[in-house]
Amino acid sequence: MSIQVENISKTIDGRPIIQDISFEWRPQRIIGLVGRNGAGKTTLFRTLANHYLPTSGTLSIDGVDVQTTPVARQKLFYVDTQNNFFDGQTLAQISALYAEGYPKFDTDRLKQLLAEEQLPFKSRYRQLSKGQRMLFQILLALVSGTAYIILDEPFDGLDILVRERIVGRIVNEIAERPTSFLISSHNLEELDGLCDQVLFIKDDRLVANYDLENLRATAKKLQLVFPDKHVPAVVKDHGKLIKVYGRVLEVYFDHYTPELEAELKAAQPVMMAPCPLTISDVFRVKLGDQRAVMGGE
């Protein structure tokens, strides 16, 4: 059970927008898709959702090729946040249309969730604020009964409280039913603490695919202070410097073993404390400086 994306490319007006993209999207995972504005995230989503036909490549959902069996896409939910018919419609009208497209769509649950968010079922979509629109789209996704949900920039421009409500909804959904999410963002920090896996798209290609669970099982980030300015060889040989604050070194170790820990302790640090490994750290150490990776953002 998974979505297999194999060598998907899309060319529009002779220009390649995404090229040769492959990854596996397994159930009950939250995958982050990170890339700068214009990197091709929305084009990838539109191609996965069949709004665009791929120029080449294949997509299969739970073993079924969607080109030969289009109904397999009923397991995949995607709302195009830029091109949709929502504006003049009421939330009730929009949900009725989605209920026709998704056999397991649960309208009663949608009404209950909308009431919890104080969004009237009869209000028009265009009357909603940016945050309320995103919440509504996410609630549509949650009640769609689909196993795979794509969210395009769900946190863009939202305040921290709305962001937290959305994150809470996503995490609860995964805990309650075998759903999985593919969430795009041009901001690494937005995805921190949420994703199990991160894909990085740059110049129309997938340039990195990191499984954070695996990575966190073997890697470690430490804050270290040594008695003098000299950085011990064990840190230089096995670590990658992430940041320096005065005498505090923040160092990433790819393969942190008991032996390495013993060697570090033998160097007699004044302070040696673990700290959480973030997605930004992973990109910084794996792909160079994050600003360089993000093209100066």
Rule CB under 6 A: choose which of 8, 32, 43, 135 binds ligand ATP.
43
Q: Does 40 bind ligand ATP (CB under 6 A)?
A: yes
Nearer Cβ to ligand ATP, position 37 or 118?
37
Residue 294 CB, shortest distance to ligand ATP, in Å, is: 12
CA geometry: angle at 258 spanning 256 and 261, to 5°? 70
Phi, psi torsion values for 202, nearest 5 degrees: -145, 135
Q: Does 17 bind ligand ATP (CB under 6 A)?
A: yes
Q: Could you give the CA distance from residue 93 to residue 110 in angstroms, rounded to a whole number? A: 13
Q: Does 38 bind ligand ATP (CB under 6 A)?
A: yes
The footprint of ligand ATP on this chain (CB under 6 A) covers a number of residues equal to 12
The alpha carbon of 20 is separated from its chain's Cα centroid by a whole number of angstroms, namely 19
CB-side exposure of 221: number of CA atoms within 13 Å? Answer: 19
Nearer Cβ to ligand ATP, position 95 or 137?
137
Q: Are the C-beta atoms of residues 227 and 192 closer than 8 Å to each other? A: no
Q: Does 37 bind ligand ATP (CB under 6 A)?
A: yes
Residue 21 CB, shortest distance to ligand ATP, in Å, is: 12
CA geometry: angle at 260 spanning 257 and 266, to 5°? 145
Nearer Cβ to ligand ATP, position 124 or 186?
186
Residues 243-272 binding ligand ATP (CB under 6 A) are: none
Nearer Cβ to ligand ATP, position 12 or 96?
12
Nearer Cβ to ligand ATP, position 17 or 199?
17
Rule CB under 6 A: choose which of 186, 202, 216, 240 binds ligand ATP.
186
Rule CB under 6 A: choose which of 8, 30, 31, 41 binds ligand ATP.
41
Nearer Cβ to ligand ATP, position 17 or 61?
17
DSSP characters over 189-236: HHHTTT-SEEEEEETTEEEEEEEHHHHHHH-EEEEEE-SSSPPPHHHH
Residue type, 292: A
Q: Could you give the CA distance from residue 25 to residue 2 in angstroms, rounded to a whole number? A: 6
Binding site for ligand ATP (CB under 6 A): 12-13, 17, 35, 37-43, 186
